Structure 1
Amino acid sequence: MSVVPPEALLITVAPTGAETSKAGCPQLPTTLEELVQTAKDCEATGAAMIHVHVRDADHKPTLDLGLLTATVEALHESTDLIVQLSTGGSVHDPLEARLKVLDAQPDSCSLTMGTTNFGDDVFLNPWPFVCELYQLSQERQIVPEFELFDLGQAHALVRLIDKFGLPFGGRVHCDFVMGVPGGMPGTADALVAGLATLPSEVTSWSATGIGRTTLPVALAALSKGGHLRVGMEDVLTISRGVPVESNAQLVERAVALGEMVQRRPMSTAEARSLLQIG
């Protein structure tokens, strides 16, 4: 695979998440048809990877393997996007069900590097679970994206790679998830501190700002040469008091921010090269 030029900006879209209700946000894509259309719109706008949570017929978060598999297949049939399934699910999903997400055969999976207070809840990721999920991703030849909610989790990544070696494909891609109540703040200072903690094996990284930290985190990430994750999983307003109309609107804004610093959207082929996904 060819070398990806430094001006190429990987934009990942996280369109749904597990926290927002359909009743509270009717424009949230929760059906398979809505998700596929969202993926097509976001790919056309500049996204190269999609981070997926699925919902059931009642629009509630689910880890149903049949729905996960059908979603991966539909997205592969309709787009060239890298399909990344969330192994986090919702904060209430059992660890056993989260391990089975990889049975749906995505291109990539999220892999959170530690337990985090998540608002009033706890996002549970004990070390034995992290190790089991990582080894499973290696066996299944699925490329993980290491999700870092706090600086200790960046240090845990050092420990994981030292113990089990590199992920499938040999590339190490991280995403700083910032601004979650209970995790690291969504500030430039926190991002710089996180970057200083990353192991030398990291080959690329992105950042996500939750809620009102979306723009500060995006600007800080671009200033440090990183990539971006955007989407309605992470923010529901496009400006103060103005609801987001679609995920493509957030991708479009990310593209515009990239253009300001002379970065252009990465193609799906370039993204596959970056992450060594065939």
Structure 2
Amino acid sequence: MSTSTTPVIVEVAINGGTFPDRNPHVPLTAEAIQRDVFALLDAGASMIHSHTYDINLQGQAAADAYLEAWRPILEQRPDTVWYPTLSVDQSEGASGESIEGRFAHYPIIAGEVPMQIGIVDPGPVNLGYPDEDGIPMGFTYINTYADIRYAFEVCEKNGFAPSLAIYEPGFLQTVLAYRRAGRLPRGAMVKFYFGGEWGMFAKGHGVTFGLPPKESALRAYLDMIEGTDLPWSVSVWGGDLLQTPVARMALELGGHLHVGIEDHYDPDRTPTNMEIFEETKALCEEVGRPIATAAQTREILGLPDPQG
């Protein structure tokens, strides 16, 4: 099958750390999450990533918040490919709670509803925004080697396919080390997070992270995974993926797309998740790649049918 006709996974990250002051259309309540997710699934979205209204919740409290939103969705659409985020303290200067606490809600959710994907953030990164003088301020999102090992073990133990967020090239080096050691769990997908000019928090432009959303940057990542056959996607945090060259380039080279209100920022517009998805769908059609169904997404990732 040629690249031009290979199904493309379009993952929609519907909320994340975005709040109404940044985009008034962000779905945060259970009802709003359900409304957006059902609409996106009906429109053909391949995968959904979701947060709760409070990322600081842990354990049973976090699980309850996710289940309130997601149980009705999965009762009607049990084939949905989706995953929650980790519990992380994002207060000023914080680096996160214990690794056990960050994952405590995962097995609880998976014991109640279909859930096949987990998260591994394979490295530390500085995340911030400019102060009044344009100087970077913020915090360090810490993921030690021990934390990373624990995250992979959670995926192995529970049969979760790891969603591998690549904020920096060093993150990918760690993933490749696990692959060489034969310890990369089934279904792993690397997701290249490019730093847009407004950064992770969109509190001002000029302070960001990682590589910029340029063709040369994507080429560098692809050189690193050459010969691995790892599925990969691209996203831009603090910008608009579709307004950069990496979106079309990814489609033309066989990659996948990660879009949605979580990472999108444009000071001149605040689109809905559906508007972002429809714009993404139009680009896929222009390039000539159909959007993967849930079944095709599981086939690409090598995941079993949750109903069979």
The whole-number CA distance in structure 2 between the counterparts of 1:208 and 1:174 is 11
| Structure 1 stretch displaced more, 114-123 or 68-77 | 68-77
Corresponding residue for 2:121? 112
Residue 7 of structure 1 corresponds to which residue in structure 2?
6
1:202 to partner: Cα distance: 4.0
Task: Spell out, residue by residue over 1:41-64, the C-alpha distance to the aligned partner (whole angstroms, 9 max, x if none).
Answer: 1112221110111114xxx75342
Q: Does structure 1 residue 130 correspond to structure 2 residue 148?
A: yes
Q: Which has the higher strand share?
A: 1
The residue that corresponds to 1:67 in the other structure is 65
Are the counterparts in 2 of residues 187 and 213 from structure 1 also a CA contact under 8 Å? no
Counterpart CA distance in 2 for 1:33 and 1:184 is: 36
Query: Is the aligned partner of 1:99 residue 2:99?
Result: no
Q: Are 1:193 and 2:220 matched, yes or no?
A: yes
Per the alignment, do residues 191 and 88 of structure 1 end up closer, same or farther by CA in structure 2, a change over 3 Å counting?
farther
Q: Tell me the TM-score normalised to structure 1 length.
A: 0.87
2-side partners of 1:121 and 1:219: how far apart? 32
Mapped pair 1:274 → 2:269: no
Match of 1:248 among 268, 271, 274: 274
Contact 1:55–1:61, Cα closer than 8 Å, also in 2:
no
- Check the 8 A contact 1:75/1:83 in 2, yes or no: no
Deviation at 1:243, TM superposition (A): 1.8
- Does the Cα contact within 8 Å between 1:111 and 1:133 map onto a contact in 2? yes
The one-letter code of the counterpart of 2:165 is E
1:5 offset after TM fit, Å? 9.4
1:157 aligns with 2:157: no
2: CA distance between counterparts of 1:276 and 1:5?
21
1:258 aligns to what?
284
CA contact (8 A) 1:177 1:210 kept: yes
Aligned to 1:82: 81
Q: Secondary structure at the match of 2:181?
A: helix
Q: How many residues align?
A: 266
- SS of 2:16 mapped into structure 1: coil
| Structure 1 residues without counterparts, runs of 5 or longer | none
Residues 48 and 197 (structure 1), Cα distance of their counterparts in 2 relative to 1, 3 Å cut? same
Q: Is the 8 A contact 1:87 1:111 kept in 2?
A: no
CA gap of 1:186–1:25, structure 2 versus 1, over 3 A, is: same
Is the alpha carbon distance of 1:192 and 1:241 closer, same or farther for their aligned partners in structure 2, counting shifts above 3 Å? Answer: same
Q: Describe the shift of the 1:214–1:158 C-alpha distance in structure 2 as closer, same or farther (beyond 3 A).
A: same
Q: Which has the larger radius of gyration?
A: 2
- Secondary structure (helix, strand or coil) at the match of 2:151 reads helix
Shift of residue 87 of structure 1?
2.5
Alpha carbons of 1:172 and 1:139: their partners in 2 closer, same or farther (altered >3 Å)? same
TM-score, reference length from structure 2: 0.79
Identity %, equivalent residues? 23
Q: What amino acid does structure 2 have at the position aligned with 1:204?
A: P
The answer as to 2:255 corresponding to 1:226 is yes
1:142 aligns with 2:160: yes
